[in-house]
Amino acid sequence: MHAGVGALALVWLFVVIGLLDTVNAIVQSMRVSVFNYPLGVNWVIVAIYVPALLVSSFLIFMQLLRSPSGSVRDVRHGAVAGGGSP
């Protein structure tokens, strides 16, 4: 019963910390002007990984901020999230 609430809290924690870390990395790379240096294969991180990380974090936030009448209540009552039975 409490495992769903604990899991939800962990998801919030990891998403917030991950997003803060990503934003910090972006700010630091702009401050150091990392784009003025040859990146070699690391351009993949800048061009693909960081945007994908930002989009996936945004999508997770959208799921977490959705109305609590669905998934959060169902998890607390032991039903599968979105399972249909109240």
Would you mind telling me the total number of residues written for the chain in this entry? 86
C-alpha–C-alpha distance, residues 78 and 11, integer Å: 18
* Mean pLDDT calculated for residue range 36-58: 90
Q: Can you give the pLDDT at residue 70?
A: 47
Residue 19 has pLDDT above 70, yes or no: yes
Q: Any residues with CB less than 8 A from the CB of 46 and at least 6 apart, and which? A: 29, 35, 39
> Sign (positive/negative) of CA torsion 45, 51, 54, 56?
negative
Q: What is the pLDDT of residue 86?
A: 47
Q: Check pLDDT > 50 for residue 78.
A: yes
**Mean pLDDT score of the chain:** 80
Global pTM?
Answer: 0.66
- Helix, strand and coil content of the chain, in percent to the nearest 5, comes to 75, 0, 25
